[in-house]
Structure 1
Amino acid sequence: MARSSFKSHPNNLRNAAVALLVPLPSVLFYLSFLQRSSASESPDSLSPLWAWCYHNPFLLANALFFLNVNLLFWIVGLLQSSHWMIDLYWTVIPVMLVHYFATHPLAESDALRSRLVILLTWIWSLRLTHSYFRRETWQWGAREDWRFNDLRGQYGRNWWWMSFFAVYLSQQVFLIGICLPLYVVHTKDRQFNAWDVAAALVCLTGVTVAYFADTQLHNFVSRNERRKQLSQALVLNLDEGVWYYSRHPNYFGEQLWWWGLAVFAWNLDCGWSFYGALVNSLCLAYVTILVEERMLKQEYRAEAYKKYQKTTSVWIPWFKTSCVAKEKGT
């Protein structure tokens, strides 16, 4: 089934090649910087460009993101008339960032904490990447995020330049912000302690919840597609497994992951880096509203979903609430 899906999209191999090649400018530039800095006797003997890269690790990360992701991905998106690639690279960029922060010459960290955070980031990325390709029936770039489609219709002819800000520049602020704990972990060498264990458990819990939520959602959608092909009545709502206790358990799991990373930074006296996880939570709250509005626009399931809203927690998994109690409350 996966093989036939892979071949079904005519641009599959082309998109796969593009996706694998586009990060090479940043990777090759950074490897060249590491080679030159390791071969140099001191940072002061480096050329101005490499010296700046040495003394400004955080700014360098932002510069590479701007040039390689914002500009290059945007140009590729314009050429393909689809900004699908940023969705895929959401699962990859944090992995690239954590290795960048860990290997930069100015990095300093507790070895155990660094390895643990790198391992956790890989686990998160593999889970999300698997979920992405499973949702896309193992195809590369078959479609772009539905929110971009909505914005495309909203901005019309101006979308070609507005997409740079709405899709890419905003993603830089967003992704660099929520990945701040990955940077903090590699700027302070403090002994590993119990708070690091607690942070890791929160991260793993988040990844686990998100995995089961996405798997149950995928199975639900697949079952309904089969029922549709057999001209059978569709199941109106997913109301079992973790979805019995939360309307958006996948979002809840994802939030736990980012807040768990923030605990690592808080443990290193950098609580200010919580802002990334906070902004992410606020944005997901807005996305939750958009998703539920889309659900209610589907007439065949609107009533069932309204009932689901009345009885089921939005994010945090909790026990069902009686519709009668809700109506009395209103």
Structure 2
Amino acid sequence: MDPFLVTSLIVTLMAFTAIWLIHVPLEDAGIIDYYWGPGFAVIGWSGLAFGAESSGIKLALLGAITVWAARLAGQLILRHGLMNGEDARYLKMRRSGGPQWWWRSLYKVFLLQAVILWLVASPVHAIVMAPSSAALSFVGIAGMALFVAGLAIETVADLQLYRHRLSGQSNLRTLASGLWAYSRHPNYLGEIALWFGLGLAAMDLSGAWWALAGPVALAAVIRFVSLPLTEQHLMDSRSDYAAYAARTPVLFPLPRTQRLTTDPAE
């Protein structure tokens, strides 16, 4: 394995272990989400700090990743601030994990997410490992355009959801306006789009096909793990969600004429 890959894995494992130590007295595993975005930026910038070749294109791409990471971290911090205590996902694990959960959470939550982040970071690894003379072709430029589009979708969707939560209506009715009128999870849609865009740019710059492995893995986790869990929680907690789901695609927007005849689960 390339020394940079080993180093980035060690750095990521150490970071998540440190967050776990902080979470133990707080009894709030939700703080792990704060590092999800910044973790990718840390991998990229630490790679250059540890001696990888630098270039203007690499700096621009890592800068774009950093902007996305900062926005995501800020949004998750704001969201967590509106919660009454620990995130429901982690609270459920804590209640069912028993008195030994405090240390079991190290490998069941924190180190597991560290490995997932490291695997999803394949575009970041490819960018750092690319030669300094490499340049983007039309494919890479198109990939960055997709990245920007995905970031815009995700940003607008999160802003609309944040305003809905601030209104105090989030527990009473489902947000069904704005981007949420076209997709039940436009924030996830934007996340998938931007990662595939970054993967295309990284593959174009480095010539490494595995730069797309992370975006594919992320899309699979979102579609087959995160979405089903979120959907079930919303069905159980909101009386109007079934009707909303019946008329709105779960992820990819469809023409209005197709919505009523499309399976809500796509």
The equivalent of 1:145 in structure 2 is 87
The equivalent of 1:64 in structure 2 is 11
Q: C-alpha deviations, 1:115-170, integer Å up to 9, x for none? A: 2211211220122123123323489xx74432211211222234223211121111
The equivalent of 1:280 in structure 2 is 218
Give the drift of 1:64.
2.4
Unaligned stretches of 5+ residues in structure 1: 1-54, 229-233
For 1:150 and 1:283, the matched residues in 2 are separated by: 20
| Greater relative contact order (CA < 8 Å, ≥ 6 in sequence) | 2
- Structure 1 segment 250-289 matched on structure 2, within 5 A: 250-267=187-204, 268-285=206-223, 286-289=225-228
- Structure 1 segment 33-44 matched on structure 2, within 5 A: none
The equivalent of 2:161 in structure 1 is 217
The equivalent of 2:68 in structure 1 is 124
Percent identical among aligned pairs is: 24
The equivalent of 1:112 in structure 2 is 56
**4+ residue runs over 6 A deviation:** none
Q: What RMSD over aligned residues (CA atoms) do the two structures have, in Å?
A: 2.4
The equivalent of 2:21 in structure 1 is 75
- Structure 1 segment 8-23 matched on structure 2, within 5 A: none
Q: Which one is further off, 316-325 or 189-198?
A: 316-325
The equivalent of 1:191 in structure 2 is 135
Pick one of 285, 292, 296 that aligns with 2:235: 296
* 8 Å CA contact 1:97, 1:182 repeated in 2: yes
Q: 1:158 to 1:113 in 2, by over 3 A?
A: same
Q: C-alpha deviations, 1:145-197, integer Å up to 9, x for none? A: 32211211222234223211121111121111111211111212222322221
Q: 1:323 to 1:62 in 2, by over 3 A?
A: closer
For 1:320 and 1:295, the matched residues in 2 are separated by: 23
For 1:305 and 1:82, the matched residues in 2 are separated by: 28
Give the drift of 1:56.
2.0
Is 1:241 equivalent to 2:241 in the alignment?
no
Q: Which amino acid aligns with 2:201?
A: F
For 1:179 and 1:280, the matched residues in 2 are separated by: 10
TM-score (norm 1): 0.71
SS at structure 2 position matched to 1:192: coil
Q: Which amino acid aligns with 1:151?
A: M
SS at structure 2 position matched to 1:317: coil
For 2:180 and 2:30, the matched residues in 1 are separated by: 28
Q: C-alpha deviations, 1:17-58, integer Å up to 9, x for none? A: xxxxxxxxxxxxxxxxxxxxxxxxxxxxxxxxxxxxxx8222
SS at structure 2 position matched to 1:90: helix
Report how many residues are paired: 258
Q: C-alpha deviations, 1:190-221, integer Å up to 9, x for none? A: 22322221111111111100011011111122
For 2:50 and 2:58, the matched residues in 1 are separated by: 13
Pick one of 76, 97, 102 that aligns with 2:48: 102
Give the drift of 1:88.
0.9
Q: 1:153 to 1:104 in 2, by over 3 A?
A: same
For 1:129 and 1:70, the matched residues in 2 are separated by: 15
* 8 Å CA contact 1:112, 1:192 repeated in 2: no
Q: 1:145 to 1:260 in 2, by over 3 A?
A: farther
* 8 Å CA contact 1:207, 1:253 repeated in 2: yes
Which one has the largest radius of gyration? 1
For 1:108 and 1:292, the matched residues in 2 are separated by: 44
TM-score (norm 2): 0.87
* 8 Å CA contact 2:203, 2:209 repeated in 1: yes
